[in-house]
Amino acid sequence: MAASLEELNDAVADAFQANGVQDKVKAKLRAEVFKLLEGNETVVAPAPTNENLIINELIREYLRFNQYSHTLSVFVPESGQPKQPAIPRTILADDLNIREPIDLDNDRPVPLLYSVVQKLLDSTGRP
């Protein structure tokens, strides 16, 4: 009986790892631990520099687009970003001299970070 219970436990753990449930649970747990710790601290994250604000907004947009909600819930307060995006997307694109990409299949905006990477790849002649 103990061996079959152990085998079942191993099979469930393998299935959770294979379909991503294990990683999601770990991310959720990290986010909840961070919230708990953040609630006990009175230390305020320093205001980000303009450069960091832009980088953080690019990361925030990327995390939201890819539905990394647990990571985003830790990233925003830890980085000192305001709860709502501080810089409109059009201004970010203008400041970075990039176009605003659109996912034609889903008719939704693609994170600007993708355009930044594409622009860098184009400038180096890499595909």
DSSP-assigned states of every residue in 18-58: HTTHHHHHHHHHHHHHHHHHHHH--PPPPPPPHHHHHHHHH
Neighbours of 63 (CB within 10 A): 20
Is pLDDT larger for residue 78 or for residue 95?
95
Contact 112, 79 (CB under 8 A): no
Q: Cα separation of 97 and 10, whole Å?
A: 51
Q: Which of the four pLDDT bands, split at 50, 70 and 90, describes residue 95?
A: very high
The predicted pLDDT at position 94 comes to 93
Cα atoms found within 13 Å of the Cα of residue 75, Cβ hemisphere only: 20
Residue 93 has pLDDT above 60, yes or no: yes
* pLDDT, averaged across the chain: 82
DSSP assigned state of 102? E
CA torsion angle for 102, 108, 114, 119 (degrees, to 10)?
Answer: 20
